[in-house]
Amino acid sequence: MCVARDLTWPPIHDFGTGTPMNSSASNPVDSATATVLEGPPTQIRVPEHTVEIVSDSGEGAQKCGQLFGRTSARMGNGVWTVEIIPAEIQPPARTPGSASGNRIRIGTEPVTNWGDAANVVVAFNEQVLLSRHRLDALADDAIILIESQWETHEDPTIREEWQAAMEELGQRSYQFIRVPMEEECQKILDIPARGKNMFALGLLATVYSRDPDILRMLIANEFRKKSQEVIDTNIALLEAGIRWAEEHLDFRVEVPVAKSESAMVVMNGNQAVGMGAIAAGMELCAMYPITPATSASHYLSEVFEDFGGVVHQAEDEIAAVGVAIGASYAGKVAFTITSGPGLALKTEFLGLAVMTETPLVLVDVQRGGPSTGLPTKVEQSDLLAAIFGQPGDTPHVVLAPATIEECFACMITARRIAEAFRCLVMVLSDANLATGVQPFLRPEVTTEWIAAPVDLSPVPEGTLPYQWDPEAGLSRRIIPGQPGGMFTATGLAHDERSKVAYGPGVNQLGCAMRSRKLAVFQSTLRPPTVHGDDAGDLLVVGWGSTEGAINEAVDRARAQGLAVSAIHIRFLSPLEPGLKDIFHRFGKVMTVEINYSDEPDDPFITEENRRRGQLAWLLRATTLVDVDCWTRVPGEPLQPKMIHQAILAHLAKGAKS
């Protein structure tokens, strides 16, 4: 019998390498219109810069941003990217709701979040730019490279829309540079709209001195399944953008590179989840397509077979989890991946996994809700559903990666926990991690990560299928076909023999043993690390993808002389130990989350009926500490400046008595 207390689980954050960044630097360039350069361009050297590329949906701005981000990472910059995705598949063109694209924050040091505002913007029309302006996504002095054709378009309605938009945009000190993208792309393509993204990539390559050889290589790889003509055309568009920028743009931005001595990898969170599943030795991914989780299965469908794995696309979410449970029951290492609505559909089957103690890993890439909600937007609203959403008592493990690197590492950790404790493990990622791109140290792969072959030796005579250790709640896992291991699996209440039984003592014992495993597992965890001093006036608590923004905001407050610290919780069920002791060392405790909570001074809201952030709710219940919260559901990642302002406001209320 495995002694669970002897197991150790290195915290996921041992794999992390991210460090906080300083606030965005302002850009002193003053440029209004593009003319042929008569002298050398202005050189701007900054420790970091943020770029946005926005277009109508389907014009390729996301691909442009991804290639720019990957190139920057390969050159040695710290990078964090966030996709800007409209809620509709094909919204009406030239409307604020059609804005699609990417934000890329690059730095000399590692970058852990998307920052506060974009310093340079490439906009394919004024309406999508208006969308970003209204969301306060742009720096007051942002340099905006905007498609010029709309200003003089033959359609008077479009000219009026341009004029109205520019008047609204004129409220800020943006610096506009009109770029004839359509005209330039038409020299290469009959349908120029299909080439603006690569032309825009060329503009940015010149502004930020990106290596054109890396760009050409990445473009060739991106279109590797297309004809050579397609690859050549996209490279020609890139080079056209480079030439135009060299001739017309009078500024350059240098973000110095701090090249790592170690090998690095660049990927998004969904790719990291897939790669982590492979590294963990998983053999089956059962899924049903759902945004924003689907790209993980797309990645696996290309490579999983090479490692002996199978991607099974089921007819629906319920079938997908059923296939995963069945494969795991038969001895395979299986997982399923979904988002919030799919998690709801899988509920009954997840109860079966808990009742039968079948190892299972479930990845939930969270999105905005409820119902169909915000399919393409980030939110952290599945926490309580993940922990408590199944009927009856269904104890299981819930953990949440905070970085793209941890998306890789946590799959290995989740697999180990699921099999060692014969339990369900949920991994809560989110849309910010799923689509964001970040470089990190290439993992040193070890065979210790891979699942060991299942034990198919004869089962000793007299062994029961649920012969629970009375202290640890663990029992031997029996695989169908093992000699002497025949028994009937059931989702009904059962005794140690897996015999259906309804006696009060039998059900009490089963519930106690399934719960005991979580207590034993928690005893192997370590308290979270405090970012900042171990005691102070305010402790900010976060989970999931908000870590980088929280730590950056806390560092800004500390630079002002404020006694603020932060912790980030990876294991959410069971919670990491020592939280109550840490909380008591601070005057006030506040969670920062991307889920909804009532404001204390909202109409009809009282201390008794106020709905709080989901982690705050959980921490209040488990520690009996008066944990407050600051939460927002903007459909996009939180900005460090927003969190910093919330910290200042919270401290202004006075210290807790």
Q: Residues of the chain whose pLDDT is less than 70?
A: 1-34, 654-657
Structure tokens at 454: 């299942």
Count other C-beta atoms under 10 Å from residue 401's C-beta.
33
Q: Domain coordinates of the chain in residue numbers?
A: 42-254, 265-439, 455-524, 536-652
Find the radius of gyration of the CA atoms of the chain.
26
User: Can you tell me the distance from the alpha carbon of 176 to that of 424, in angstroms, rounded to the nearest whole number?
Assistant: 54
pLDDT tens-digit map of 242-266: 999 999 999 999 999 988 888 999 9
Asked if 640 and 549 count as a contact pair (C-beta separation under 8 A), the reply is: yes
Sign of CA dihedral 527, 367, 20, 63: positive
User: Can you tell me the distance from the alpha carbon of 317 to that of 347, in angstroms, rounded to the nearest whole number?
Assistant: 10
CATH code of the region 265-439: 3.40.50.970
DSSP-assigned letters across all residues of 505-572 = HHHHHHHHHHHHHHHHHHTT--PPPPBS-SSEEEEEEEEGGGHHHHHHHHHHHHHTT--EEEEEE-EE
User: Can you tell me the distance from the alpha carbon of 1 to that of 13, in angstroms, rounded to the nearest whole number?
Assistant: 30
**121, containing H or E segment:** strand 118-123
Strand partners of residue 46? none
User: Can you tell me the distance from the alpha carbon of 179 to that of 241, in angstroms, rounded to the nearest whole number?
Assistant: 10
User: Can you tell me the distance from the alpha carbon of 268 to that of 119, in angstroms, rounded to the nearest whole number?
Assistant: 23
Q: What angle do CA 426, 429, 434 make, to 5 degrees?
A: 140
Question: By three-state DSSP, how is residue 387 classified?
Answer: helix
User: Can you tell me the distance from the alpha carbon of 152 to that of 160, in angstroms, rounded to the nearest whole number?
Assistant: 10
DSSP-assigned letters across all residues of 77-111 = -EEEEEEE--SSSSPPSSSGGGEEEEEEEEESS--
DSSP-assigned letters across all residues of 346-385 = THHHHHHHHHHT--EEEEEEE-B-STT-BTTS-----HHH
CATH of 42-254, one of 3.40.920.10, 3.40.50.2000, 3.40.50.1820, 3.40.630.10: 3.40.920.10
Its pTM stands at 0.92
Residue 34 is predicted with a pLDDT of: 66
Cis peptide leading into 370, omega within 30 of 0? yes
* Helices 294-303/269-279 angle, 10° precision: 50
Structure tokens at 392: 């009856």
Domains 42-254 and 536-652 share a fold: no
Asked if 140 and 69 count as a contact pair (C-beta separation under 8 A), the reply is: no
Q: How many residues does the chain have?
A: 657
Residue 258 is predicted with a pLDDT of: 85
Provide the CATH topology of domain 536-652.
Rossmann fold (3.40.50)
User: Can you tell me the distance from the alpha carbon of 291 to that of 289, in angstroms, rounded to the nearest whole number?
Assistant: 7
Ramachandran region, residue 254 (left: φ > 0; alpha: ψ -120 to 50; beta: rest): beta
- Which residue type sits at 259? K
- Label the pairing between strands 78-84 and 99-107: antiparallel
pLDDT tens-digit map of 430-443: 999 999 999 999 99
